[in-house]
Amino acid sequence: MEPSTIELVKDVLTDAIKILGPAIITAFVAYRSFKEQFAIEKLRLHDKDRIEAHKRLFLFARKMSNETFPLADNKLSAFKCLMKKEYFGKIDIDSVYYPDAVIEILDKLESQYICMTRGELIPEMDEKELELFIENELFNYAKKLRKAAKSF
């Protein structure tokens, strides 16, 4: 190859690097910036959903403690109504946002509700167990849920 051709190729490559180098760097920076912005938006949406889930848990716990306090009437029907209207389809779906202690309490409430309402799946609870749950445990679970919901 002739020296003039080598010099021409060298000049063309130098010019190409001068033109493409900044363009490649700009594209890379734009890509990284977009990727970071996407991650921030994803995190923001997750936090918003988590906050809404905790609000729903707090309202559920507050209603339960207000309806099942020790001197309340019809605790059983209030519990069944709250579970049917507030828990299923709302709180149980949000459980992915709750800590293990809250999920454990919610699982206990759900299993008690199923024992009370689905006799064909599980033998019905005896009266002693039912009364113990309604009179003693239910309000305590509600207090624990309310305390946990406040601490988020």
Q: Spell out the domain ranges in the chain.
A: 3-150
**Mean pLDDT, residues 20-37:** 86
The mean pLDDT value for 68-87 works out to 87
Q: In this predicted model, what pLDDT tens digit does every residue of 56-76 receive, in sequence order?
A: 999 999 999 988 888 878 888
User: What is the pLDDT at residue 89?
Assistant: 81
Question: Which range among 68-72, 85-89, 90-94 shows the weakest confidence by mean pLDDT?
Answer: 68-72
Question: What integer pLDDT is reported at residue 122 of this predicted model?
Answer: 62
| Whether residue 121 has pLDDT greater than 70 | no
CB-based contact 106:91 (threshold 8 Å): yes
pTM: 0.70
Contacts of residues 112-116 at CB distance under 8 Å and 24 or more positions apart, as own/partner, are: 113/79, 113/80, 113/83, 113/87, 116/76, 116/80
- What pLDDT sits at residue 123? 62
- b or e along 88-120 (b: 16 or more beta carbons within 10 Å of the residue's beta carbon)? eeebeebeebbeeebeebbeebbebbebbeeee
pLDDT value at residue 62: 92
Is the pLDDT score of 11 beyond 80?
Answer: yes
| pLDDT more than 70, % of the chain | 95
Distance CA 75, CA 72 (A): 6
Calpha distance 116→33 (Å, rounded): 55
Residue 3 pLDDT? 81
